[in-house]
Amino acid sequence: MTNKPKLKLATTSLAGCFGCHMSFLDMDERLVELLEQIEFDRSPFTDIKQLGPCDIGLIEGGVCNAENVHVLRTFREHCRILVAVGACAINGGVPAMRNHYSLQECLEEVYLNSPDTVNPHIPNDPELPLLLDKVYPVHEVVKIDYFLPGCPPTGDAFYSLLKDLIGGREPQVEKGRLRYD
């Protein structure tokens, strides 16, 4: 082990399913090796809530509400390199299927008209982040440096991305390993 300072890595899930985070853990024992060279900052893995200055930020999920916008902008401010990870971050993914309908139609379908609804009402607690009119890809809100497609990207794809970034190289996704599903 060298005395080189560890790279700071932050991750978050916006409008995603945490599948990308689960796939990140599929790196299995290679995580031990990576942790020699990186340390986590804010991430669901650490439960650290405040984001400090970071080298790498991984964004899972698209942008569906005001809080997502805030978190994404905070990540952009604090992360030297920001990577959109997975189908939802890259093009909205499955949550973007709601873009077919108006926000009002979505809320009414889920909270008023759904056949198993008890005490139907549209949630209006002021603590709830306001939904955006549509789900957006993250690169339409902030500048994104690299993209890692896949639903989810495989553990191998995460490993290859992080090894490239740790090594100071441009991340390369081999064409033969590219998957969107």
Q: Where does this chain bind other proteins (CB under 8 A)?
A: 84, 87, 90-94, 96-97, 99-100, 134, 136-137, 139-140, 144, 146-149, 151, 173, 175, 178-181
Cβ-based neighbours of 91, under 8 Å, separated by 6 or more = 62, 137
CA dist 27 → 17, 47, 55, 163, 180 (Å): 18, 20, 20, 12, 19
Distance CA 138, CA 176 (A): 25
The residue (of 20 and 51) whose beta carbon lies closer to other proteins is 20
Positive or negative torsion for Cα 74, 3, 148, 93: negative
Q: Minimum Å distance from CB 108 to other proteins?
A: 18
Sign of CA dihedral 128, 133, 134, 140: negative
- CB of 99: closest distance to other proteins in angstroms? 4
Task: Select 23 or 37, whichever has its Cβ closest to other proteins.
Answer: 23
Nearest approach in angstroms of CB 137 to other proteins is: 6
CA-based torsion, 60, 64, 67, 72: positive or negative: positive
Of 21 and 134, which CB lies nearer to other proteins in the complex structure?
134
Separation in Å, CA 70 to CA 3, 29, 92, 141: 35, 34, 17, 10
Tell me how far, at minimum, the Cβ of 140 lies from other proteins, in Å: 6
As a whole number of angstroms, the distance between CA 76 and CA 99 comes to 25
Q: Which is nearer to other proteins, 104 or 124 (CB)?
A: 104
Least separation in angstroms between CB 167 and other proteins: 19
Nearer to other proteins, 57 or 93 (CB): 93
